Structure 1
Amino acid sequence: MKTSKTYAGIPEKYAKLETAKVVLIPVPYDGTSTWQKGADKGPEAFLNASENMELYDIETKSEVYKEGVYLADAVTENSSPEAMVEAVHQTTKKYINKNKFVTLFGGEHSISIGSIRAFNECFQNLTVLHIDAHADLRKEYEGTKCNHACAVYEASQNTNLVQVGIRSMDASERTVMNEDKVFFAHDMAVNEDWIDDVLDQVTGNVFITFDLDALDPSIMPSTGTPEPGGLFWYETLEFLRKVFTERNVVGFDIVELCPNEQEKSSDFLAAKLYYKMLSYKFLSENDEDFDEDEDDSPFSQLSKFKNDLDEDY
C-alpha cells in the first residue's frame, strides 16, 4: 500500500525505482509504544506534509528530489514485533542490494532494529548515530527484544553506537552504555564543541537513526514521549550538515512522529528534516566546495552569535 502516488508529489520521471538514487520506505507501526499511541499514522502525516513543501532548498541551492526518490510500498507487517522487525530487515536489505540510498520513516522506534540489522549486514565498520531523548538500551522490555525501548540494544552489541541528545533512561541501561560515546543533553547545553566531540566518535560508514523526540517539544510536540530540554532546529541542521559532509552516511531512518490533527507544524518539521538530510547527502557528494569554508555558514555564524551572548552574560 502506498499512501501517496509519489514522494512529495514529485513528477513520475523522478520517482521510478530504476532511475531513483533514493528509496523511501514507510513503516506505519505502533505495536509496542507505552504512552501516547499514534506513531503508525506518522508516515501518512509526513507524506501529506511533504506534498505541501517547497522543493528548492535555500541553504544548499539545490533541488535534491531530482536525484530521484522512489516511494516504496509500506511495510505493514504487524502480527508481532519480531515479525515486523524481520519484515523491515528484509525490505531494507532488498533495496540496499539494488544500490540505492535507503531511508525509512516510521512508525515507532522499534522499526530501527530491522533497519540497523540490514545496514550492519551490508556495510563494514558501521557506526550507528542515534539521535534521541531516550537511551533505548534495554535488552528486553514487556516480553520482547523488539520493543521501542530496545531500539539500539542490538546496535550497542554489534556496531559502533554513538548516542546524542540523551536525557531520559532507566538505571539498568548504564550497565550496557558506553558513556564515552554518549552525549547527554545537559552536557551538550554547556559544551560549545559538542558537535566536533561527536564527530570524533563517528567513524566508518554511518547510519543515522533520528527519533524526533530528540528535538525540544517546543518545536516538536507531536511525539509519543516528549522530553523537555531537547535540540533546536538550527543546531540540529548544523550538526547534520557536518555529519553528512565529513562522514560517509549510508542511510537513515526517522521515527516517532505521533501526529495531532490540531498541530500540523510537527508534521511539516519532519518533512523538512527528511528533505534537508537528503539535500546534505547529495550536495556533499556533488559539490566538493560545500564544506570548504564552513565558518561562513549561517549556522556557524548563529552559533558564534550565541556563544558571544553567553560570554557577555
Structure 2
Amino acid sequence: MATDRNTFLGVATCDLALPLPASDIVIFGAADATPHLKGRTSHAANGPTAIRNALRVYQADLSRWDFDQDGVLLDREQIRVFDCGDLPTSPDAPEENRNVIRTATKKILASGAVPVLLGGDDSVPIPFFEAFEDMGKLTIMQIDAHLDWKDRRDGSAHTFSSTMRRASEMPWIERIVQVGLRGIGGSGLQELSRARNWGSRIFTARDIKRQGVHTVLSAIEENSNCLITIDCDGLDPSVIPGVILPQPGGLSYFDVIDLIAGVASKARIVGLDLVELVPERDVQNIGAICAARIICNAIGCIAKHKML
C-alpha cells in the first residue's frame, strides 16, 4: 500500500470508495458538516490538514521513543493505521455533508476498524455519532469548554451548539460524560437543566483541577464501549491557542492524554473525533502539534488494548 506525505504520520493511504484494507484504525477528515452560517465554510475547515502536517518531521522514523506513551511513536507491527484523507464536503450542502460523514463512519466500523475523525467544527461529530447505531450501547466522553445542549441555533438543529443535545436523542447513547466545561457559552440554565435531567455527568475544568482526572474515570463503566469526542477549546488556550472561542482555565495536555489512557484501561475506545482546531489562530503551530500528539496517544492506547 502506498504512502502519502499528506497522511497522518505518513501512514498508508486508503480509499473509502473501495474495499478497505485490513486495519485497526482508519483516520479521515471532514472540513464541513452543518455550517453555523449556511454557505460559509467552517472556521475550522483547515484543521485536518494542520493536524496531519504538524508531526511530519517525525514520520521518517516512527521508531522514535515517545515518552508520553512510554513506547515508540507508532509501532506498525502492533497496529495497522490507514488515512483515507478528507471527505468531499461543501458548506452549501449540510445534509449531504452529514450523509457522507455518516456513511464513511459506518463503512469503517463495518470493516472492524476504529474510526478517527478530524474536523472541522463541532457539528461534524453529530453524524459521526449517528453512524454507531448498530454498535450497541455507547458511552460518550466529551472534552469541551461548552455544554452544546441547545436544541436549535438560528433555526438549525445540527450546528456546533447542539452536538450533545442531538447525542442525547440517540437511543444507543447510554451515558454522556462531559469534561472541561468553564467560562461562558451559548447555553443557559434551561440547557443545563435538560442535560442534568437526562443524566449527563458534568465535570467542570475546576473539578479536574481540584480532584484530578480520576474523578471522571469513576463515571466510565468497566468493559463499556466508549466514543471520545474532543473540542480543542476544552484545553487551555495556552496549550491550544488556535480556537474560535478561547476560554481561560482549561484542561492541560496531560489531563487529556491521561483521560484517554484511563478510559482505555477500563473500556473499549470504539471511535474518536477531534474538532475545532483553527490553524489561522494558532501560535507557532503549537495547537496543531498538541492536537496531533493527542491523536498519537489515542492510537497508542487503542494498540495496547488490542494486545490484551
Same fold (TM over 0.5): yes
Q: What is aligned with 2:249? A: 229
1:31-66 deviation digits (Å, cap 9, x = unpaired): 5257x9630000111111132236332333134351
Q: What is aligned with 2:35? A: 32
CA contact 1:210–1:255 (8 Å) conserved in 2: yes
CA contact 1:30–1:38 (8 Å) conserved in 2: no
Q: Does 1:47 align with 2:52?
A: yes
Instruction: Work out the CA distance in 2 between the residues paired with 1:180 and 1:84.
Output: 28
1:229-250 deviation digits (Å, cap 9, x = unpaired): 1001222222221111221111
Task: From the two aligned structures, give the one with the greater helix fraction.
Answer: 1
Q: What is aligned with 1:20? A: 23
- Which residue identity is paired with 2:9? A
Alignment of structure 1 residues 236-255 onto 2, 5 Å: 236-255=256-275
Instruction: Work out the CA distance in 2 between the residues paired with 1:12 and 1:154.
Output: 32
Q: Does 1:117 align with 2:122?
A: no
Q: Does 1:162 align with 2:177?
A: yes
Task: From the two aligned structures, give the one with the greater strand fraction.
Answer: 2
Deviating more after overlay: 241-250 vs 106-115: 241-250
- Which residue identity is paired with 2:49? E
- Which residue identity is paired with 2:52? L
CA contact 2:33–2:124 (8 Å) conserved in 1: no
CA contact 1:222–1:263 (8 Å) conserved in 2: no
1:87-138 deviation digits (Å, cap 9, x = unpaired): 211110111111111110000010100111112x131110011110011111
Q: What is aligned with 2:235? A: 215
Q: What is aligned with 1:140? A: 152
C-alpha spacing 1:134/1:229, structure 2 compared with 1 (3 Å): same
CA contact 1:162–1:182 (8 Å) conserved in 2: yes
Instruction: Work out the CA distance in 2 between the residues paired with 1:134 and 1:279.
Output: 27
CA contact 2:268–2:305 (8 Å) conserved in 1: no
Q: SS state of the match for residue 210, structure 2? A: coil
Q: Does 1:91 align with 2:112?
A: no
1:1-33 deviation digits (Å, cap 9, x = unpaired): x995533223679xx941332100111127525
Alignment of structure 1 residues 147-226 onto 2, 5 Å: 147-158=159-170, 159=173, 160-167=175-182, 168-169=184-185, 170-171=187-188, 172-178=190-196, 181-192=201-212, 195-203=213-221, 204-226=224-246
Q: Does 1:6 align with 2:7?
A: yes
CA contact 1:81–1:144 (8 Å) conserved in 2: no
Q: SS state of the match for residue 209, structure 1? A: strand
Shift of 1:180: 5.7
- Which residue identity is paired with 2:181? I
Deviating more after overlay: 207-216 vs 228-237: 228-237
Deviating more after overlay: 129-138 vs 3-12: 3-12
C-alpha spacing 1:258/1:65, structure 2 compared with 1 (3 Å): farther
Q: Does 1:64 align with 2:74?
A: yes
C-alpha root-mean-square deviation of aligned residues, in Å? 2.6
* Identical residues among aligned pairs (%): 26
- Which residue identity is paired with 1:62? V
Instruction: Work out the CA distance in 2 between the residues paired with 1:102 and 1:30.
Output: 17
Of 252, 255, 280 in structure 1, the residue corresponding to residue 301 of structure 2 is 280
Instruction: Work out the CA distance in 2 between the residues paired with 1:114 and 1:180.
Output: 20
Equivalent pairs counted in the alignment come to: 281
Shift of 1:280: 1.3
- What is the TM-score normalised by the length of structure 1? 0.82
Instruction: Work out the CA distance in 2 between the residues paired with 1:280 and 1:102.
Output: 14
Unaligned runs of 5+ in 1: 289-313
Deviating more after overlay: 199-208 vs 261-270: 261-270
- What is the TM-score normalised by the length of structure 2? 0.83
